[in-house]
Structure 1
Amino acid sequence: MVDILDSLFATVCMIISNLIHALHAIIHPDPADLGTRSALLQEYMEEFRPRQLEVKQLKEKFLKALQENNAEEVLQILHCGKLDIDTVLEVDDPNMVLASYKQGYWLPGYKLEKSWAMGIHVCVMYNAVETALVLLQNGAALNQMPNGKTPLHVACEVSNSDCVALLLAYGAKVNSLSLSGHTPLHYCITRESVECAKQLILKGAKVNTAGHNYEEDTPLHTAARFGVPELVPLFLAHGASVNALNGLRETPLMTAAFWAFDSKEQVYSQDHHFVCRLLLDHKADPNLKEEDNKTALHKAAWNCDHVLMQMLLEAGADARAMDINGCAPIQYVLKVTGVRPMAILEVCYQLLLNFNAARIYPSQFHKVLQSCYDYPRVVEILVNSYEHLKPTRKWTAAIPDDCYEVVSAKRHKDFYDSLFAVCTNTPRSLLHLTRCAIRASLRGFCHRGVDQLPLPSTMKKYLLLEPEGILYR
């Protein structure tokens, strides 16, 4: 027993001694040892550089062959045994076709020019089907994500249905999530990707899977956002929920209504209108509210999209619904009246009032004039919705001088002369009061009810607040 302890003690002492010598050599190195190490390092680097250069050149040659769909060249490079089939390449990717990043992380701009990818990703990106088949036959990995997307995600992103079919045939995971939390079905966002979506669904893609991110959009939300009407009936036919809620509690109908207007180009999208029509035809509820209590009508009103507003109102949207701040759709139109040059504003106001929208409080009517002074037809519609309206001193302050005073411009002098002539302490004409009485009795059915009345078309227009360009008693 004593011998064992002596042996153990001697071993521990030797280990400690070696550690002390090693630390001493690091802190106080011998110049001769430094020279030897430097020479060995230099010799290693001289051997390493040619090999590194050879691998780099081989990767460049491999990447070029993949991009050109040169299957024979790719096979030759693989058979030489110097490059792994799943080697990661650096590929020009300014549009981030290959890349997917987690939300909430800061990403320097310079990283967006290039992405990492394996050979199979490159084939899919460049529609190199023959070369992709060669890689798969030689055992290329199917579901790797060097920069956040699998090859199947990329195939759907570029609407490459041939590659989608090939990848699925070799067992690609149909419901895999990219780094940003999207399935391949979420990347079907164009007309050309409809065939990709069909193949994914036939292989078991889940049409109601919410993205694992902040928005939590379903594929139907994505189709609504990008305005792809061809995808909507496909998803609905395979069980997509027409009133599914995303992370913001928005339905696909709300999403399509918001994105129907391109604020940069100032244009309205007919494709998004078509998407809304399809969703409403499949019983989408126009009165569901998102987290701020806005409905689809609020979003259409914010865009001053009269086509969509009429569609929603005829489908039963509540013109009096209020958001979390107590604003109805008519207030939304009022807020953006001056910044929607492509909108037909008078139609927006006319529609809302004919579908029983609450009018602006008479004491606050000066705010209407502040927003709409350059749109006399809008002011005319709003004034005619009241039985009687009494002006205040704030009215004159709300209207710029060049709209009605005798100055050089006089843009709308005749109209504003008629406005102040009609809005006095005296009641308006019996004809106007009759119009108001009929509208009040019809309430929210004014738009449809007036059309059924046995009256001349001119009288129907009068009841529906059709503007004439001037106000009459």
Structure 2
Amino acid sequence: MPFCHWTSPSTLTGLESQRFLEALHTNNAQEVLEILQTSKLDIDVVLEVEDPSMVLASYKQGYWLPGYKLEKSWAMGIHVCVMYNAVETALVLLQKGAAVNRMPNGKTPLHVACEVSNGDCVALLLAHGAKVNSLSLSGHTPLHYCITRESVECAKQLILKGAKVNKASHNNEEDTPLHTAARFGVPELVALFLAHGASVDAVNSLQETPLMTAAFWAFDTKEQTYSQDHHLVCRLLLDHQADPNIQEADHKTALHKAAWNCDHVLIKMLLEAGANSRAMDINGCSPIQYLLKVTEVRPMAIPDLCFQLLLNYNAARIYPPQFHKVFQNCHDYPRVVEILVNSYSSLKPTRKWRAALPDDCYKRHKDFYDSVFAVCTDAPRSLLHLSRCAIRAALGGFCDRGVAQLPLPLSMKKYLLLEPEGILY
């Protein structure tokens, strides 16, 4: 069965049209050559192609599009060959003079070849004059369409032919190829771009760096999973001296984004790289406040470890009169509550505390919460706890690294670093 048809019938008969399309689809180069030699077919005629994934299409931002899903795209024969990896047939078309840089539906054949990770077709198109830095209708270069491990070979060929690794997209985002590779979490592409001079701290229109992009997209909100590939991308960027303290348009840093995802792996990585745990966004919120907001909606996370890390790197603590919000957002996470309470030398409860603690939750963790209300009074905490607070205050932002160097038993080091024990005393 044919998979596309002419947009407007030309001199081809229906039978000839069927024959030509089937030849393209099956990569029958000999058949295509015979059709070109014996018919009046325009080699660059535009076809309407079945394209449910919209591989062939690119639209300019701001254009009106129908609410229903488009199933077809405009394309020339060379686009069809590239889409279906019909290399031999593509060679026939190019040798017969097929246009290599036209984009009937917003993409050149080179854009399509990169999107489908077709390295052989990329090589063929480049050898026949494809423009390596051409922009699709949406403002993206072929490098921007390299978004999978399989497209690394495509990217290498583009770079060898002069593709600009720092060329930003011509649209509202203004992402560089490094931003795109960071968003899709492809360490191999990130390493390739960095090796060829990509600016590690390039910013897009929102002033976001590739590090911020990777940190944000490391968490899949739909699947509630964390991406090791994105973590590796962040590691690569930091190893190439990415600045973890650059602030985007809303003054958020990469650490804000990692905290929003409740991503303890990235929080630790960023803090060890020198991220400022007290950086504030445009609304005056630090990373720990972002963490507080999302603790109860990140079921796959380990929030207590996230809070522990931030506090051990001198994060600003929750303002005591607002501490009831800890119970509102973290009541089902006693380890979080314990860590936060133990970060103060003393903490006086308000009537809002108990009101913010659901009765069923209190019953589930009765022993723990009874211990919380027992130690949070006007009376001072134990001398052991006060000593912990004094040492932590002296170490300040070096608490995590400083405690490790103290000549103390491991159990005492864990105590100093707020390791939860399940009860307060």
Question: TM-score interval w.r.t. the shorter chain?
Answer: over 0.9
Residue identity matched to 2:62: G
Structure ranking higher in helix proportion:
1
Among candidates 388, 398, 419, match of residue 466 of structure 1 = 419
Alpha-carbon separation, structure 1, partners of 2:189 and 2:14: 43
1:80 CA displacement: 1.8
Counterpart of 1:417 in structure 2 is 370
Counterpart of 1:407 in structure 2 is none
Among candidates 284, 287, 296, match of residue 242 of structure 2 = 284
For 1:290-333, what per-residue CA distance to the aligned partner results, in whole angstroms no more than 9, with x for missing partners? 00000000000000000000000000000000000000000000
User: Pairwise mapping of residues 258-277 of structure 1 onto structure 2 (< 5 A)?
Assistant: 258-277=216-235
For 1:321-350, what per-residue CA distance to the aligned partner results, in whole angstroms no more than 9, with x for missing partners? 000000000000001111000000100000
Counterpart of 1:434 in structure 2 is 387
Counterpart of 1:151 in structure 2 is 109
Counterpart of 1:399 in structure 2 is 357
1:422–1:217 distance in 2 versus 1, CA, 3 Å: same
Counterpart of 1:443 in structure 2 is 396
Q: Does structure 1 residue 315 correspond to structure 2 residue 273?
A: yes
1:63 CA displacement: 2.0
1:435 CA displacement: 0.1
Alpha-carbon separation, structure 2, partners of 1:110 and 1:388: 59
Among candidates 31, 40, 49, match of residue 91 of structure 1 = 49
Alpha-carbon separation, structure 1, partners of 2:35 and 2:69: 29
SS of the residue corresponding to residue 112 of structure 1 reads coil
For 1:59-96, what per-residue CA distance to the aligned partner results, in whole angstroms no more than 9, with x for missing partners? 33322211110111111111123211111111111111
1:71–1:110 distance in 2 versus 1, CA, 3 Å: farther
Residue identity matched to 2:89: T
User: Pairwise mapping of residues 80-119 of structure 1 onto structure 2 (< 5 A)?
Assistant: 80-110=38-68, 112-119=70-77
1:111 CA displacement: 6.1
For 1:123-150, what per-residue CA distance to the aligned partner results, in whole angstroms no more than 9, with x for missing partners? 0000000000000110000000000000
Among candidates 243, 248, 254, match of residue 201 of structure 2 = 243
Q: Does structure 1 residue 226 correspond to structure 2 residue 184?
A: yes
Residue identity matched to 2:346: H
Counterpart of 1:26 in structure 2 is none
User: Pairwise mapping of residues 9-88 of structure 1 onto structure 2 (< 5 A)?
Assistant: 54-88=12-46
Alpha-carbon separation, structure 2, partners of 1:142 and 1:194: 22
Counterpart of 2:6 in structure 1 is none
Among candidates 183, 187, 191, match of residue 145 of structure 2 = 187
Alpha-carbon separation, structure 1, partners of 2:159 and 2:205: 24
Residue identity matched to 1:284: A
Alpha-carbon separation, structure 1, partners of 2:67 and 2:93: 32
Counterpart of 1:46 in structure 2 is none
Among candidates 334, 357, 364, match of residue 322 of structure 2 = 364
- Give the count of matched residue pairs: 417
Alpha-carbon separation, structure 2, partners of 1:205 and 1:54: 39
Alpha-carbon separation, structure 2, partners of 1:56 and 1:234: 48
C-alpha RMSD over aligned residues? 1.1
Q: Does structure 1 residue 254 correspond to structure 2 residue 212?
A: yes
Runs of 4+ in 1 over 2 A off after TM superposition: 51-61
1:105 CA displacement: 1.7
SS of the residue corresponding to residue 241 of structure 1 reads coil
Alpha-carbon separation, structure 2, partners of 1:67 and 1:385: 66
Residue identity matched to 1:233: A
Counterpart of 2:4 in structure 1 is none
User: Pairwise mapping of residues 336-375 of structure 1 onto structure 2 (< 5 A)?
Assistant: 336-375=294-333
Q: Kindly, what percent of the aligned residue pairs are identical? A: 82
1:52 CA displacement: 6.3
Residue identity matched to 2:19: K
Alpha-carbon separation, structure 2, partners of 1:223 and 1:56: 44
Verify the 8 A CA contact 2:11 2:41 in the aligned structure 1.
Answer: no
1:234 CA displacement: 1.1
Alpha-carbon separation, structure 2, partners of 1:397 and 1:201: 61
Among candidates 127, 137, 140, match of residue 85 of structure 2 = 127
Counterpart of 2:131 in structure 1 is 173
Counterpart of 1:306 in structure 2 is 264
Alpha-carbon separation, structure 2, partners of 1:353 and 1:334: 13
Verify the 8 A CA contact 2:206 2:249 in the aligned structure 1.
Answer: yes
For 1:181-226, what per-residue CA distance to the aligned partner results, in whole angstroms no more than 9, with x for missing partners? 0000100000011110000000000000000001100000000000
Alpha-carbon separation, structure 2, partners of 1:340 and 1:131: 50
Q: Which has the larger radius of gyration?
A: 1
Counterpart of 1:198 in structure 2 is 156
Alpha-carbon separation, structure 1, partners of 2:19 and 2:206: 47
1:419–1:297 distance in 2 versus 1, CA, 3 Å: same
Residue identity matched to 1:452: Q
1:383–1:110 distance in 2 versus 1, CA, 3 Å: closer
Could you state the TM-score of these two structures normalised by the residue count of structure 1? 0.87
Q: Does structure 1 residue 210 correspond to structure 2 residue 163?
A: no
SS of the residue corresponding to residue 364 of structure 2 reads coil
Alpha-carbon separation, structure 2, partners of 1:348 and 1:243: 25
Could you state the TM-score of these two structures normalised by the residue count of structure 2? 0.96
> Any gaps of 5 or more consecutive residues in structure 1?
1-50, 405-409
Verify the 8 A CA contact 1:63 1:89 in the aligned structure 2.
Answer: no
> Any gaps of 5 or more consecutive residues in structure 2?
1-8
Residue identity matched to 1:433: L
Alpha-carbon separation, structure 2, partners of 1:71 and 1:142: 18
Counterpart of 1:456 in structure 2 is 409
Counterpart of 1:140 in structure 2 is 98
